[in-house]
Amino acid sequence: MAFKRAKNIGLKTIKGGHILINMLILVAIFIMIVFSVYAMWDSNQIYRSANAIQYDIYRPEQGETASFEEFQVINPEVIAWLEVYGTKIDYPVVQGEDNTKYVTTDAFGEYSLSGAIFLDSRNSKDFMDFNSILYGHHMDKDAMFGEIASFEDRVFFEEHIYGNLFYEGVDYGLEFFAFINDIDAYDYAVFKPRVKGIGEQQDYLDNLITEAINNRDVKVTTKERILLLSTCDSALTNGRDILIARITDETYANPYEKERAVSIIDQLEGLPLWIRILVPTMLLIVVIILTYIKGNKNKKI
């Protein structure tokens, strides 16, 4: 009897231990699900705020600028529209009173970690300075200025020559002629807008060409206007990548398809947030439960 009682106590103890382990597993699963949902929500919020698709309805189109003007009513600091042909860089341009506001503010004027594409506050908003500088974050999925790093590749640089800059109701051409990478953010020989004087302007141009790892045989003079597109270099803390163009009165045809290719991720952007979170979460739960059931069957065998 004593042996039987001891055996029953042992079985109950083992059973209780299994229940405790099962509860701990369920708690761990619940924590994983909560963390996954939050991580997905947080990532989704950042990507949505950086995705150019949200601005499409305000994009000026060949003389049709009413929607862009509506955008300027929403945020009077919207001054231009930038497009780099063959990339996802297709965004409104803003200019604040300083160079900090739009680091964490989107083009709608709302708080956003992805910020906006903005013109240096020291530059003239009519882009009449000899050199104007645009800044944008290096974001994942080629959002914002994330694709500028692609110009480090010589083939990519050679294939992507033109772009468009719209401001004050007129389209202007962009011809990209140089790319600089790993330049220090505190190199004021480069990050110096509104360079004046023919001598200083020529020195500035010569320095850009010297620093460039890729350049095109385009004769740029001090009588022209140039535009620098600057973003963070993901490899260096203070490193910057810069794509440089000259602004021309002549506009260029977009050699790529007019309608941008919409990725699967972009298509998912059109679905309600709860669906985009619920579906992968349910799949994760099913995988975990099946793995758990299979493990218990193996133990019984």
pLDDT digits (tens, 9 = 90+) for 194-251: 999 999 999 999 999 999 999 999 889 999 999 999 999 866 678 999 999 999 999 9
Give helix 273-300 / helix 2-50 axis angle, nearest 10°. Answer: 150
* The pLDDT of residue 202: 97
User: How far is Cα 162 from Cα 245, in angstroms, rounded to an integer?
Assistant: 9
* The pLDDT of residue 257: 65
User: How far is Cα 256 from Cα 85, in angstroms, rounded to an integer?
Assistant: 7
State the number of CA atoms in the 13 A half-sphere of 215 facing the CB.
15
Cβ pair 165, 174 in contact under 8 A? yes
* The pLDDT of residue 36: 47
53-58-62-65 Cα dihedral, nearest 10 degrees:
180
User: How far is Cα 96 from Cα 112, in angstroms, rounded to an integer?
Assistant: 15
Output 51-56 pairs: Cβ under 8 A, ≥24 positions apart. Answer: 51/143, 51/266, 51/269, 52/88, 52/89, 52/90, 52/91, 52/143, 53/266, 53/269, 55/90, 55/91, 55/92, 55/107
Question: Which residues in the chain come in under a pLDDT of 70?
Answer: 1-50, 234-236, 257-301
Output the six-digit token pair for 98. 């300083």
How many CB atoms within 10 Å of residue 77? 20
Reduced to 3 states, what is the DSSP secondary structure of residue 92?
Answer: strand
State the number of CA atoms in the 13 A half-sphere of 44 facing the CB.
17
* The pLDDT of residue 232: 92
* The pLDDT of residue 258: 57
